[in-house]
Amino acid sequence: MDISPLQEARYAYAPKLPGALGTDPASVAVELGEPTEAVADRDELKALFKATYGKPIARFVPGKANVGSRRPLKVGVILSGGQAPGGHNVIAGLFDGLKRLNDGSTLIGFKGGPSGLVDDKAVEIDAKLLAGYRNTGGFDMIGSGRTKIETSEQFAASLATARKRGLDAVVVVGGDDSNTNAALLAEYFVKEGAPVAVVGVPKTIDGDLKNEYVETSFGFDTATKTYAELVGNIERDAASARKYWHFIKLMGRSASHIALEVALQTRPNVALISEEIEAKSMTIAQVVEELVRSIVARAEKGMNFGVVLVPEGLVEFVPEFKALIASLNELLAREAAAFGALADDAARLEFVRSRLPADSAPLYASLPADIRSQLAMDRDPHGNVQVSRIETEKLLVALVERRLKELSKEGRYPGRFSALAHFFGYEGRCAFPSNFDADYCYSLGHSAALLAANGLTGYLSSVRGLEKPAREWVAGGIPLTMMMNLERRHGERKPVIRKALVELDGAPFKAFAAARGAWAVETAYRFPGAIQYYGPAEVCDRPTETLLLEKAR
Ligand code: FBP
């Protein structure tokens, strides 16, 4: 295969490991703390996770190996959900960790996500296969998928696969939902008397799988650095051409961690943070006013250009928009047959317009035509509005344009407004992992191997102290039940790992809020440039601003 020089060089990169893991596995001891409790709903969770609730936190420390098996192990690995840079390095760390414990150990990769375990679709991962993926982005070595193991048949089929293949452990690399699934699988295996440990690994570019014990999910570092490079480049272009306002939507599903981190790295004129908009119960008109204030102030200084960051999940956090989406979902579920029988798009739009409840109809009518179509027509297989497909960046451009015209007529806007809309998402999910993610993921994989060897089931592989150099990182495992609570999902109370949204009293948001007033009016852009893989540690190994600010507390 003709590979790029960087790909070639990255194959040879040796990821850094925490000091305690970097020695002979015979000198890695596991230290177990006190029994733990869930973040909430303890009694109900205790009843649901009778076998795995309340385990102690595990930590790997230098010492004489006290528990743990040195016999050959057979471990299966699953990549679950959206791609995140570093997935291949988790597999590499797991593979090398298992081989160091016993060269006869084997690693099986289940193909296409959790369904690979249910349907027993797998490939053996050997050194040769792995060599073509070390330190590279993507999940293409074994693929990923979004199947949830939910039904009793799926649980039974997963167990059958594990038994048939003689697995000692299954490692699930995923986000909050996939790791909730891992906890349920761990509990099920124990209940069925199967000695198969289930270990999770925290993955998602969205950065919303974090808490007191998980400092960051992997992939967030590389994805935000990739977006920050692009945003910085656009800022420089905007400041050079001085004729466009760029509205940039950034991936991240519900939480605004990505938008906030990219804002901290690039200092745009405006960055909207969904969690703040919801907390202030802002209307879409108020959001538009905030943008217009910056545009007018800059126009008054002769700067008819700027950069706005928009988080992917914004509309769901604007209360009136959330209500509109709920009404649309309900209306189209109730009248699915009549809606489906309509002849054309014009009829469908009229159907929706005339049937929406009085509190949602005016907002719907006020939206630009293409957004109205997206809301009515672009639906997921369950019939719900595909919120992540709504072109919020274009919606805001249209609404801002409308408002500026009004202001211009009133003589309150002296500028020219020409806007371009962008969406950055998939561009960041499969980048070559930054050194941080390459090292972090390799360490998470190594730690997962040790958790498996110690038969520690129902744990999330954990590496902490990430603001320090890798040698000082501390590896171990956090009981999954410790991060859980019960939430209503599809009308039922279900155990889930709490999704972390941006905290408005957290250090990253506070740092942003303290500076944004000046950014809105001045041109204070910051240009992070491309991710650097080779060079001084302060350029190549620096974690995200979010992590540094959170750890500085
Ligand atoms: P995960 O939560 O599974 O890591 O996925 C993250 C994400 O990239 C979101 O930011 C985005 O909204 C979504 O996946 C897109 O999903 P898809 O790949 O199905 O288009």
The pLDDT tens digits of the residues spanning 500-550 come to 999 999 999 999 999 999 999 999 999 999 999 999 999 999 999 999 999
The pLDDT tens digits of the residues spanning 89-144 come to 999 999 999 999 999 999 999 999 999 999 999 999 999 999 999 999 999 999 99
Which residue's alpha carbon is at the smallest distance from atom 1 of ligand 1?
82
Please tell me the least confidently modeled range out of 217-231, 364-378, 407-421, 426-440.
364-378
Question: DSSP letter string over 325-367?
Answer: HHHHHHHHHHTHHHHHT-SSHHHHHHHHHHHS-TTTHHHHHHS
* Residue 146 pLDDT > 70: yes
Which residue's alpha carbon is at the smallest distance from atom 16 of ligand 1?
82
Task: Choose the CATH number for 15-219+433-489 among 2.40.50.180, 3.30.450.20, 3.40.50.1010, 3.40.50.450.
Answer: 3.40.50.450
**Yes or no: is domain 221-428+506-550 CATH 2.40.10.10?**
no
CB 467 within 8 A of CB 548: yes
The C-alpha atoms of residue 13 and residue 1 are separated, in whole angstroms, by 19
Catalytic residue among 168, 177, 206, 439: 206
CB 175 within 8 A of CB 37: no
Beta strands in 131-265 (DSSP E): 169-174, 197-202, 245-250
Per-residue b/e over 510-534, b at no fewer than 16 CB within 10 Å? ebbeeebeebbbebebeebeebebe
Tell me if 15-219+433-489 shares its fold with 221-428+506-550. Answer: yes
* Residue 42 pLDDT > 80: yes
The C-alpha atoms of residue 177 and residue 82 are separated, in whole angstroms, by 12
Which residue's alpha carbon is at the smallest distance from atom 10 of ligand 1?
252
Distances (CA, A) of 150 to 142, 182, 310, 320, 395: 22, 11, 34, 33, 37
In this prediction the pTM is: 0.96
Per-residue b/e over 26-38, b at no fewer than 16 CB within 10 Å? eebbbebeeebeb
**The pLDDT value given to residue 69:** 59
Domain ranges of the chain: 15-219+433-489, 221-428+506-550
Closest ligand 1 atom, residue 81 Cα = 3
The C-alpha atoms of residue 48 and residue 458 are separated, in whole angstroms, by 13
**The pLDDT value given to residue 61:** 93
The pLDDT tens digits of the residues spanning 353-401 come to 999 999 999 999 999 988 998 888 877 777 778 887 899 999 999 999 9
| Helix and strand element counts for the chain (H, E) | 23, 15
Beta carbon of 415 within 6 Å of any ligand 1 atom: no
For residue 77, give the amino acid letter: V
Beta carbon of 177 within 6 Å of any ligand 1 atom: no
Percent of the chain with pLDDT over 70: 99
Q: Active site includes 206?
A: yes
CB 80 within 8 A of CB 145: yes
Per-residue pLDDT band for 67 (boundaries 50, 70, 90) equals: low
Q: Which of 295, 258, 248, 218 is nearest to 462 (CA)?
A: 218
Q: Which H/E stretch holds residue 450?
A: helix 435-453
Q: What is the DSSP letter of 67?
A: S
Residue 251 C-alpha to ligand 1 middle, in angstroms?
A: 8
The C-alpha atoms of residue 220 and residue 118 are separated, in whole angstroms, by 29
